Chains A and B, each alone.
Chain A
Amino acid sequence: MEQEETGFAVKKGLAEMLKGGVIMDVVTADQAKIAEDAGAVAVMALERVPADIRAAGGIARMSDPELIIQIMDAVSIPVMAKCRIGHFVEAQILESLGVDYIDESEVLTPADESYHINKHNFKVPFVCGCRNLGEALRRIGEGAAMMRTKGEPGTGDVVEAVRHARSVYGDIRHLQSLPEEEVMTFAKNIQAPYEICMQVRELGKLPVVNFAAGGIATPADAALMMQLGVDGIFVGSGIFKSGDPAKRAQAIVKATTHFREPAILAEVSRNLGEAMVGRSASSLPEEERMAGRGW
């Protein structure tokens, strides 16, 4: 296998430690504490959750550093923050704050319509979204140390997260079945780096951790994604847009650990109060879809 760049093991290693866990979107230090107390493995510090970004419209940018610092001071678990696709200066600012992971995210308005950030240039690790294997391997080629399916953020509709996870894992299974001479054409067809395709074929999985994101609102949604093969769960609007955030957060944490135990899933799903209202991903007009952002 190729020699990895210096420090990449440490970048990707933090994501390994987050596996089997839930990363929660929070917009205040108080919410961050609720998430930590519920058993979150990390929090994503944001000014607005995706559902509110949709509602507000306009341009969504990196959060105020003051808010991110308050959240970093409030909890002992890792803190992630989002920058716009291609906005490497927002990433430089987040790195200087000492955030533990940067999400180059389609939830924010893209800053560059052709190029993503060269993530090899940073010491802080990056997580990026993907809809299919080609997109995942392009991001890994740029230096992403963790992936997540994009889903359709802020909808509470899990259908797109399922579509993206099935697509990634289906393509991996297909790639594994190919004889070596067909891999170059496969790489060309999915627009992915050949060397990383070869690596995936050998490993039978992505070379970095892959979480599910975008539309997960219930313990059953989290367990569904885990059974489809993801390594862990991001919950954005699903927790703090629901009736009883602390209870729902704990339930999703338990469901992510015990994802193969229907009796436990039934127990944790009882009396959770209102789930986020949600809207179906297929009802969104093209210009409101976030998953299509990124190239």
Chain B
Amino acid sequence: MKIGVLALQGDFREHRISLEKLEADVSEVRLPEHLEGLSGLIIPGGESTAIGKLMVAYGLLDAIREFGKTKAIWGTCAGAILLAKNVGKKQPLLELMDITIQRNAFGRQIDSFEIDLPVPFLKPSHPDYHLTFIRGPIITEVHGKAKPLLSLPDGRIIAAQQGKLLATSFHPELTDDLRFHRYFLELASSESVN
């Protein structure tokens, strides 16, 4: 099973390293033809406006939208924003997931933070997972086929799933904990429908 990492901008190297530690076959995606033969794609953290514009410039917006109809895609932070139907601002989006996202929802960089939370659906579910939020977004609405997956103690949604599509506000790629990447690999090889 081959997994691509969208390598237009952002921390794609960290995703690549995490996947390689799990012995996945990884390649970098910069042009539409690089999607061929992939079972899944990770859209990394970065600046969603910059990644969106580069996707438009090289025909990747349509190509990934098509890919996401049947294949697995995981977006972390900027990637989650790009998967959303609505972000309350005009910018290029894949609009694949039935979620609404608020960008920079916690504030500016000085409001960025880390928190340890239990994540029951990961294997193993202990210990707690170390979540890193960097100018992170919040999922404000989950409707249609999407389901909320994880929330902060105050109830704000920070992860959602729709079949093989996964959106997280935080950055598992910045930790050495591989459980989220393993979760995505299982998703990519599953029979779920988006």
Contacts and interface: CB of A to CB of B under 8 A. Distances in A.
Interface in A7-40: 7, 9-10, 13-14, 16-21, 36-40
A19 B49 contact: no
Contacts of B103: 76
B171 interface: yes
Interface residues of B, number: 35
Given A20-B8, A76-B104, A13 B112 contact: yes
Contacts of B112: 10, 13-14
Interface stretch (B9-17, B156-164, B186-194): B9-17
A47 interface: no
Interface string B34-59: 00000000000111011001100100
Q: Which of B54, B110, B114 is most buried by chain A, counting CB atoms within 10 A of its CB? A: B110
Interface string B1-33: 000000111111110000000000000001000
B13 to A, nearest CB: 7
Nearest to B111: A98
Given A19-B9, A36-B49, A254 B57 contact: yes
Main secondary structure of the interface of B (DSSP, over half): loop
B165 interface: no
A10 B89 CA distance: 26
Nearest to B12: A20
Nearest to B87: A76
B181 interface: no
A17 B134 contact: yes
Given A9-B132, A101-B109, A254 B54 contact: yes
B71 interface: no
Given A78-B135, A123-B110, A17 B54 contact: no
A253 interface: yes
B49 A39 contact: yes
A194 B107 CA distance: 37
B108 interface: yes
A84 B174 CA distance: 31
B174 to A, nearest CB: 6
A19 B171 CA distance: 15
Contacts, number: 104
A137 B106 CA distance: 32
Interface string A235-262: 0000000000000001001101110010
Interface residues of A, number: 37
Contacts of B107: 98
B110 A95 contact: yes
Interface string B108-127: 11101110000000000000
B13 A19 contact: yes
B78 A39 contact: no
Interface in A124-167: 124-125
B13 A257 contact: no
A70 B151 CA distance: 34
Contacts of B109: 14, 78, 99-101, 124-125
| Closest CB pairs A-B (n = 3) | A100-B109, A39-B53, A20-B9
Interface of B: 7-14, 30, 45-47, 49-50, 53-54, 57, 77-78, 89, 103-104, 107-110, 112-114, 132-135, 171, 174
Interface of A: 7, 9-10, 13-14, 16-21, 36-42, 72, 76-78, 95, 98-101, 123-125, 250, 253-254, 256-258, 261
